[in-house]
Chains A and B, each alone.
Chain A
Amino acid sequence: MQETLKLLTCGSVDDGKSTLIGRFLYETGQLYADQLASLGEPDENGELPFANLLDGLEAERSQGITIDVAWRFAEAGSRHLIIADTPGHEQYTRNMVTGASHCDLAIILVDARKGIIRQTRRHSFLCHLLGIRQFVVAVNKMDAVGYDEQTFKAIEADYYKLAERMPGANIKVLPVSALKGDNLAKLSGNMPWYHGMSLLGALEDASVSRPEVDGVRLPVQTILRPNQDFRGFAGTLFAGQVQPGDSLYHWPSGKNALVSHVWRAGEEVGAIHAGEAVTVQLDREIDISRGDWLTNGPVTAARTWKGWLVWLDDEGHQQGKRYRIKAASRWTWGQVSEIRGQLNVDNWTIGEEADFKANSIGQVTLQLEESQALDIYQQSRHTGSLILVDPDTQQTVAAFMAEEAVSDDTGNRPVVSQAEKELNAYIRRHYPHWQAIDVSDW
C-alpha cells in the first residue's frame, strides 16, 4: 500500500471540508508549529480555526468560504495523499470537476443536522461521472446532534439508497466531527456504538486501482530529433506495455512499424509501462505528428461522438458556435450539434433543457471537423476525454467524456447528413432490390 492516493473533499458550504482536512492533519501530527501559530486565535470554545490552513486567498479568509481548489499533501501510514480541497458552492462546480478529474477517491461531507441534500447528490453524481469509484461519506458535525446513533444510521441508509445509482462504487460511511476530531485519526469514545474505520483507516485501506483500456495508448506529445540518426516519439504511455520488437499501429495513417528502442524519462530501458513518460523509436519512417496515437492496433476514431458534457464557463453554450477542441495533445475544431438532455441533480433524471449554462451537466453529440481517436471515458480517462475552448475568450468552457462513436472511421462509415439518411430511407423503401444498407443509426 505505498501507492499515492489522490482524493478530493466535497460537500456543501459550511459542511466543514476545510476544517476536516485541517483537523485531520493536526490529529495525525502533520502540522508544523509555525503553521499552527499562523491559524489565528481559538474561538470561544477553544477550537482553532483549522479552515484557515486551507483557505489561502484573501477573499476566502475574509468571506470564510473556499473559492478555488487547494492542494494539500499528507500521509496516511506509509501511503502518500494528494488532497484536493474543493469548493462547495454550485457556482464553483468547475473547480470541483477540476479536482475530481485527477482523483481516485472522494470524501463526501454530509452535515448530520441536515442529512443528504441536493449538493450531496450533485457531488456524488459528478464524482461518479468523472470515474471515481471509491467514496468515503463523512457524516460530519456528529457533536451537534449529540453523537446520536439513530441520526447516523438514517443518513447511512439514505446514502446507500442513493448509491444504488452509482454502479461499481465502493462506499464507506463514517460518523465524524471535524471540529472535535472524532473518528479522524482513531475511533472516538464519543461514539462507542460505531465499530467501523476511522478516516485515517479508510484512506489507508482504499484501493487505487483504476479501470484501464485494454491495449497500448501513447498519444505523441513531441518528436525529439537531436541529430540525423535519432527520431524519438515522446509522450505519456497511458495504457499498456511496450518493448523493442513490438509492432505499433499509427493513428491516423493506419501504418505499422516495429519498435527499435524504448526510453523512460530520458534513459534507455528494456520495456516501458503504463503511467510512464516515455520515448519510442521505430524501425521505419512514418509521418508522425504531435497529437497522433501509437497503439497496439486500430482504435476508434470518428468525427461525431456522443458523451457527457459539463459546462464550466460563466458564459453559457452558444448554439452553432465553433469551439476549439483539445484531446490528448491534439487541437481541432468542433461544435455541440445536439443537446440530448440535461441532468436534474435532484432525482438524477435527464430532462430536456435546451441550453447549457454555467455548471450544467448533460448528454450531447459533438461534431468535430476532423476525425479524432478517443476511448470510452469510463475505461480510460486521459484518452476518453477532451476540453472545449472558446476561441474568443481563450477560456476552457466545457469538459467532454466520450461514451460512443457515432460514425466509426475504422469501418466504411462516413458521417451521414440528415438529407442523406432521408435519401437512404427513400431508396430502401422504393428500390429494395438495390440492397442499400440501413444508415439511419449512423
Chain B
Amino acid sequence: MSLSPHLAALEAESLHIIREAAAEFERPLMLYSIGKDSSVLLHLIRKAFLPALVPFPVLHIDTGWKFQAMYAFRDAQAKKFGLDLKVVQNPKKLNPFDHGPRYTDVMKTEALKAELARGKYDCAFGGARRDEEASRAKERVFSHRDAFQRWEPRRQRPELWSHVNSDLAKDESMRVFPLSNWTERDIWAYIRAEEIELVPLYFAAERPVVERDGQLFMVDDERFRLEPGEVPQMKKVRFRTLGCYPLTAAIESDAETLDEVLEELGQLGASERSGRMIDKDSAAAMERKKRQGYF
C-alpha cells in the first residue's frame, strides 16, 4: 500500500531527524519499549540506514513487570532485524503494588539514567509523540538534557528549519523524538500501510481481567495481587498503549484487525493515555517525571 501524502511527509521528516542525529552524535542509542510507537520508530530507524543495519544499540529498560507477550515479541524482533539489543533492569526490584509512584521513579527513571550514564550515551532516540500529553506537546524534537539528564522546559533551544544544534557540554545529552509530529491515528495508519508487526495485545482477544476503579486490568501471571472478592473473568479486550501490566488498563473491544482498530479509534471518546495510571499521580505528573530525567 502506498503512503498518503500526509504519512509520506511525516516519514520523510522522521528519517531526516534520525539521520541527522545518528551523524551528529558520537554514541546514540534507541530506547525501545516494545509498544506500537517503538515499533514504528524502529521501522523508521531501519529505513533510514537501509541497506545498512541499524548502526547503534537498542535499549530496553525492563521493570520486570511487562506483559509476557511483550518479552517474547522483543526477543523475536531483535533476532529478525539483527539488533544490538541491550536489556537492563534495576537490581532494586521494586514492584508496582507496594511502592506506588516510587516504583516508576526507581525501575524506569533511575534505571534509564544509570544505563545512559554508564554507557556514556550522548543521544537517546525515543518514540514519544506531542499529542500524548500536554507537557510533551511543549517538547522539542531534539530535547536537551543537562548533566543530570533533567529536562528544563524554560531553557529549551530554539529549533529552526532542519538545522540541528547538537553541541553539548560535558555529560550533557540529547533525547531525540522523531515521532514528535505523529498522532495516534497516524501511527495506526502507518502500521497498516507498512505492515509493521505488533505485539498481539493491541488486538482484541479473550483475556483474564479484573475490574478495579472502573478500569480493566489483565491478570498476566500469578504475581498479580487480587483484592478480596476479585475473581478474574474472561473478557474480550485490547490495549491502546502497553506498559507494566498491573498499571496499564485494557479496553473492551471487538477490534481484532488493523482495519477494525482504526475504525474503533474514530469512535472512542477518550484520549489514548486515559488508561495510563502513571500520568495521573498528580497534575503535571509527566512534566515532573521528565524534569527528573524520565524518558
Report which of B22, B157, B183, B287 forms a contact with A395, defined as CB distance below 8 A.
B157
A59, A275, A395: the one contacting B154 at CB < 8 Å is A59
Chain B: minimal CB distance from A298 (Å):
23
CB neighbours (8 Å) of B114 from chain A are none
Contact A82 B138 (CB under 8 A): no
Chain A residues lying within 8 Å of B46, measured Cβ to Cβ, are 266
- Are B52 and A97 in contact, CB atoms less than 8 angstroms apart? no
Stretch at the interface among A322-330, A420-428, A433-441: A322-330
How far apart are the CA atoms of A98 and B140 in the complex, in Å? Answer: 10
Range of interface residues on A (Cβ < 8 Å): 35 or more
Asked, given contacts A221-B23, A226-B52, A265-B15, whether A67 binds B154 with beta carbons under 8 Å apart, the answer is yes
Which of A70-78, A166-174, A337-345 faces chain B? A70-78
When the two chains form their complex, are residues B165 and A326 in contact, meaning their CB atoms are under 8 A apart?
Answer: yes
Name the residue on A nearest B24 (C-beta).
A329
Please give, as numbers and ranges, the residues of chain B lying within 8 Å of A266 by CB-CB distance: 46-51
Cα of A95 to Cα of B269 in the assembled complex, Å: 33
* A56-110, CB < 8 A from B: 56-59, 61, 67-73, 80, 82, 94-95, 97-98, 101-102
**Stretch among B5-13, B90-98, B205-213 lining the A interface:** B5-13
CA separation between A312 and B163, bound complex, in Å? 15
Given A101-B160, A396-B157, A396-B160: A224 and B181 interface contact (C-beta under 8 Å)? no
A362, CB-defined interface residue at 8 Å: no
Q: Are B153 and A97 in contact (CB under 8 A)?
A: no
The stretch from A32-40, A135-143, A182-190, A242-250 touching chain B is A32-40
Interface size class on chain B is 35 or more
The answer on a CB contact under 8 Å between A226 and B51 is: yes
CA distance A315 to B180 in the complex (A): 29
Asked whether A53 lies within 8 Å of B134 as measured between CB atoms, the reply is yes
Q: Quick check: A277 and B160 within 8 Å, CB to CB?
A: no
Q: Which of A195-203, A300-308, A378-386 contacts B (4 or more CB under 8 A)?
A: A378-386
State the CA gap A94–B155 with chains docked (Å): 11
Is B108 engaged at the interface, CB distance under 8 Å to the other chain?
Answer: no
Across the interface, A277 reaches (CB within 8 A) one of B48, B156, B168, namely B48
CB distance from A59 to the nearest CB of B (A): 7
Q: Pick the contact of A58: B50, B131, B172, B284 (CB < 8 A).
A: B284
> Are A56 and B4 in touch, CB under 8 angstroms?
no
* B167 located at the interface, meaning its Cβ lies under 8 Å from any Cβ of chain A in the complex: yes
Which applies to chain A's interface (DSSP): helix, strand, loop or mixed? mixed
The reply on A2 being an interface residue by CB < 8 A is yes
Q: Which of A69, A95, A101, A225 contacts B161 (CB 8 A)?
A: A101
B16 touches A98 (CB 8 A): no
Say how far A134's CB is from chain B's closest CB, in angstroms: 17
Q: Check if B158 sits within 8 Å of A97, measured CB to CB.
A: yes
User: Which residues of the other chain, A, contact B165 by a CB distance below 8 angstroms?
Assistant: 326, 387, 389, 394-396
Q: Complex: how many Å from CA A13 to CA B52?
A: 49
Give the shortest distance, in Å, between A358 (CB) and chain B (any CB).
Answer: 11
Distance (whole angstroms) from the CB of B82 to the closest CB of chain A: 12
Instruction: Give the 3 A-B residue pairs with the shortest CB-CB distance, closest first.
Output: A56-B134, A266-B50, A277-B15
Interface residues of B (CB under 8 A from A): 4-6, 8-12, 15-16, 19-20, 22-23, 46-53, 130-131, 133-138, 153-154, 156-165, 167-169, 172, 180-181, 183, 268-271, 274, 284, 287
Known: A32-B274, A67-B153, A230-B51. 16 other contacts (CB 8 A): A2-B6, A4-B5, A32-B268, A61-B284, A70-B134, A102-B161, A221-B19, A225-B52, A236-B162, A266-B46, A275-B9, A385-B161, A386-B163, A387-B160, A395-B165, A396-B159
